[in-house]
Chains A and B, each alone.
Chain A
């Protein structure tokens, strides 16, 4: 087997193992949350008796490991169980059915932000490395420092104020539903996507710049200059191909943020994504939903890091082309 394929498979196996470990941590730490769905729904006045019956109905009186095995066993098959809310009523609502539209919205928003942010930050980073210490570099540097320093809700309100209130170009509230058309969805999600773009672009751009500049002291860069290679080619052909590993890592980190860290932006724009839903589920102690969300977040994070690893491996000629 090619060593790269072997390494990739190893990482993949490791990722699956990590996910299992994380699922145990998620499950057990949620057990430690004070209160429960029953207390929450029945209120302060509920007698211990009714709480007990309620828990029995949800199957919560069984030992934790039994419930874990049942949960993870089903989850592996794509079944995350039923939401507690509704269990007592006539229609059971499956977690997957609740999460799916929300997850779609979140990925939609993340993709919108990523499509703009990743190429733009690479471009800005490469240009900043090429014209390092010029006025361009300084301006980009101070702008990105500013956006890093500003809290995201502040950016969100600022954008809302200019683009929705003052100029009415975009919606200030991003309510979408399953009947919203694709372009309408794009339109409504523009401001939240822009907010997130501004938040992550600075980080990625600075890392791109730093990774490239870091390489400029290498002897092979001096050699390229002394071969008469132009400045832009020195950066693009000689530095960039060796800088992918750290850049990929920071991109993966930021893409993960787009999925798992967007709750503030969702709240500000009232965008029906998964973050807001998870917060609601936690406060109502709707454990199947919380667990499923947490597991999805963990999987996203692990998967993106895996991709970054694969990029690092496949851009390393020593691994890709062994002796």
Chain B
């Protein structure tokens, strides 16, 4: 390949000038990217950061000369190593894709074809573009798997995508991107779908391999702490505009724009810790199983929840957090143990609970989109529990809906809106109001901020704290995000594989001495310090 000869670090590899991309929404073309310049040198890693919808993916894909269906490049130039990608024929671009510019997508599980072996997909471009023979490509793929520290690198490629874990698949996708030794890789939120403990390994593997082969990369994420580990330089995007751009250390030390500062606002939120001797919910030795006892998802779980406080339950996906919520709400009766509420044993099954008990325990879910009926107005959504639990009808019901809207900082005008007419944060507020309508004593919040952007997350957390102050409601707050836990909790319950590893006050759990798993979990949370990952890896390898 010609590019081998002039792989000199420091040459400009990709140059985007004054790029405008339109996207079609409601049959109208509206700008998504509004005149952005971007320069990337060989071997350089550029971080793209911003909230969802900022245009990060669109810009990243434009770096390949690709616009998603429904998007079009309206003006500007994209120059990749002397090739004008806007003017180039489809053939030319397809020749570059996979071989000289590669893409790593957010969800490896969705981006691998379920019908083919991992290794066949890894080497598809290398063989298809006649860059390597099949044997050579396979040997090389196994070598890449090894470098990316995949277990059983010689045989893992013979598995199907669904047969390996999410973190492994994400690394396999990196191997796929690397297989032709491209000049440029676009990483589009490659670790967003992973647990923190898995994320560390994947980040390390990706950073390592990009360095080894001196590959340039565009690293897209919404997590500033992650991008700090990966990128030499950071661009902050909002509404398709460039907010600011600076080398990583400079950006972290002194961001110039208000918007950039607000991106890590959640990390500043800190609720002063309180506790109480009045236990509202006592979970005692609870086991729960799915599928008629074949797999134990909760194993002897004991948790005490003091009234008027926020108890955060943290753990990786699959650790049993949501199952615990289902056991409390009666959706999944425990196979062993008792749950008592206000000192009285709760009937295990939902059907055996009286209406007043149901009223006192409410739940808010991660996705307001699935939790709210899209065909009901806010009036119906919030009015329904008012009528069901409190018997409020007609004008009295309406008055209370408006009061609740005020409580969640939305004005009266929202009463006739449908969920589809509101933003993600507003919809989550409506979910909160619906829970509040029942005047509950305990609200279980299951990952309620996980689908939201940082700034909106902070607003929702602020709102929840304000409501707690006003009504002394108790929260059981389920999350996998340690920053959120730090912000909102009084007590923390750490769960791992269905067991409670630790329960205690925030100040105790978040400070040493830690049980082993808590330490692993806490140390895996990316920090703003650009040297964090390097330091952590050094510390971990020193221990082994």
Contact = CB atoms under 8 A, between A and B. Distances in A.
Note whether A and B form a binding pair.
Answer: yes
Interface of A: 218-220, 222-230, 233, 237-238, 241-242, 315, 317-318, 321, 323
Contacts of B129: 228
Q: Contact size class for B? A: 20 to 34
A241 B161 CA distance: 15
B113 A224 contact: yes
Interface of B: 61, 64, 66, 68, 94-99, 102-103, 105, 107, 110-116, 124-125, 128-129, 159-160, 162-163, 176
A-B CB proximity, top 8 nearest = A227-B98, A228-B98, A228-B97, A241-B115, A219-B110, A226-B103, A223-B111, A220-B113
A257 B99 CA distance: 49
Contacts of B116: 237, 241
A321 B111 contact: no
Contacts of B163: 321, 323
Given A219-B107, A227-B125, A242 B115 contact: yes
Given A226-B98, A227-B98, A242 B113 contact: yes
Interface of A is mostly: helix
Contacts of A228: 94-99, 125, 128-129
Nearest to B177: A227
A319 to B, nearest CB: 10
B162 A220 contact: no
A220 B66 contact: no
A233 B124 CA distance: 11
A224 B112 CA distance: 9
Contacts of A227: 97-98, 102-103, 124-125, 176
Given A226-B97, A228-B125, 17 more contacts: A220-B113, A220-B114, A222-B68, A222-B111, A223-B111, A225-B66, A227-B176, A228-B97, A228-B99, A229-B128, A230-B128, A241-B115, A242-B115, A317-B114, A317-B160, A321-B160, A323-B163
B78 to A, nearest CB: 15
A225 B125 CA distance: 10
Contacts of A242: 113-115
Nearest to B68: A222
Contact of A318 (B102, B105, B162): B162
Contacts of B162: 317-318, 321, 323
The interface centre, meaning the residue of A220, A225, A321 with most chain B CB atoms within 10 A of its CB, is A220
A233 B162 CA distance: 22
A246 to B, nearest CB: 14
18 contacts: A219-B110, A222-B68, A223-B103, A223-B111, A223-B112, A226-B61, A226-B97, A226-B98, A227-B97, A227-B98, A227-B125, A228-B99, A228-B129, A238-B113, A241-B115, A242-B115, A321-B163, A323-B162
A80 B163 CA distance: 50
A116 to B, nearest CB: 28
Contacts of A230: 94, 128
